[in-house]
Amino acid sequence: MLIKLKRMTGPGRRVLIGRKRKEEPDEKQVIMKGKVTARVLNVRDDRSLNSNVIGKYNKNEIVEIIGIEDNWYEILFNDASAFVSAKYINPLIKKGIVTAKLLNVRSLPNIEAEVVGKLKKDKKVIVVDELDNWLRIKYKYSFAYVSAKYIDLTEKKQKEFLYKNRKFLRLELEPETKLVVEGSRIDMRVRQTYNKYGNLLKALSEYLGIDLASAIAVIAVESGGKGFDDGKVLIRFENHLFYKYWGKENEKVFFEHFTFNNDKYWLGHKFRKNKRDEWQSFHGNQDREHEVLNFARKLNKQAAYMSISMGLAQILGSNSKIIGYENAQDMYDNFSKDIRYHILGLFDFLSPRMVKYLKNNEFVNFAAYYNGKGQARRYGKWIQDHYEAFPEQLV
């Protein structure tokens, strides 16, 4: 059904071909605006490709939409209605959040207008136009108005994931000048980490605004030191997670091949390919880990990838979206290519709060978020020790 409301805003574009108005302008209302995406967009006198072309818009010009029907927008064009293909219009809508405890929704943009509904605090709304101190919003099956004073239109900045920055993927891993590996076990681990990844970690630390020593310490403490084994990405298949993501709905098949401890579900992981085979442990053997993963993939591919931790920092596949991937398989595919994805993934995993703690050298607070509060003091001290072991001349 074509939406036809009372017009509230100003005139549209010029007419290139003369045309009689179908309706008076005060019978129309601009319900939203849109930006032209085609290089040149025809304006027509009806909703058909066979109708007359009465004007044109160029790319990025703004149109005022007064009606919607199927694949066409009715627009305001020189104070009369006309039509353009919706395929080539990007509606300029915003999303907002109600900040008032209870917000009146009105039929018109004024305080005396009829109240047609109410919105509770934190309710999300779609804003199609801004009118002085009022906002036109999509409401139920039509449009209505709310006071702009009580809608937060602040858009959260989309996180820029490090692994999508081609600069970091092209950088050499190793620094030009390497450190002599000597001293205590912590000293040697810090120096080995720098010698392997120092050039990339230096660029990352500058980008994030943290000390290079902090970046080195986090990698040294939170990673096992390597990300590949015999050319395959290092993984750990978690039976209890595969049960969560797939086995719970397929228990008969699951328990024929997988088992784990009922009380301490992270223990007792065993696998067998056939139900007549002996149960076998597989953690600690990468060939076996990948064998279990390959078997699980045949049962459910995405659930299998979500059930593994992978790479240098052993990030769970179930956290793939947190570090910017569409799904766990995409994460696995990238992690299988290059250890740079492992390092960038670890730092993509850090929240703004965790980065702030690193900037301030608050390692216990950092560990409380990264490792959990129960391990915060222990891991925080380890990070502190590795931070202090980094040679001062390179800080």
46-85 as b/e, with b when 16 or more CB fall inside 10 Å? ebeeeeeebbebeeeeebbbbbbeeebbbbbbbebbbbbb
Asked if 78 contacts 28 with a C-beta cutoff of 8 angstroms, the reply is no
Cβ-Cβ contacts under 8 Å for 288 (sequence gap 6 or more): 271, 280, 282
H helix intervals, 209-323? 212-222, 239-245, 251-257, 286-299, 301-306
Query: What pLDDT, on a 0 to 100 scale, did the predictor assign at position 28?
Result: 64
State whether the Cα torsion 130-136-138-142 is positive or negative: negative
Query: What pLDDT, on a 0 to 100 scale, did the predictor assign at position 155?
Result: 64
Query: What pLDDT, on a 0 to 100 scale, did the predictor assign at position 82?
Result: 94
CA neighbours closer than 13 Å in the CB half-sphere of residue 371: 20
Query: What pLDDT, on a 0 to 100 scale, did the predictor assign at position 66?
Result: 87
Q: In the beta sheet, which residues pair with residue 62?
A: 35
Q: In the beta sheet, which residues pair with residue 103?
A: 119
Residue 3 CA to residue 34 CA, distance in Å, equals: 16
SS3 content of the chain, % helix, strand, coil (to 5): 35, 25, 40
DSSP SS3 for 21: coil
Kindly write down the DSSP assignment for every residue of 322-384, as one continuous string.
Answer: TTT-SSHHHHHHHHTT-HHHHHHHHHHH--HHHHHHHHTT-HHHHHHHHT-GGGHHHHHHHHH
Q: Which helix (H) or strand (E) holds 142?
A: strand 142-147
Question: Around Cβ 87, how many Cβ atoms within 10 Å?
Answer: 11
Query: What pLDDT, on a 0 to 100 scale, did the predictor assign at position 13?
Result: 38
Query: What pLDDT, on a 0 to 100 scale, did the predictor assign at position 188?
Result: 95
Q: What is the mean pLDDT of each run of 10 residues along the chain (395 residues)?
A: 36 38 53 89 94 94 86 89 91 88 94 95 88 87 89 75 93 94 94 95 94 93 86 96 96 97 94 95 96 98 96 93 94 96 94 92 92 88 94 61
CA neighbours closer than 13 Å in the CB half-sphere of residue 24: 3
Amino acid at position 318, single letter: S
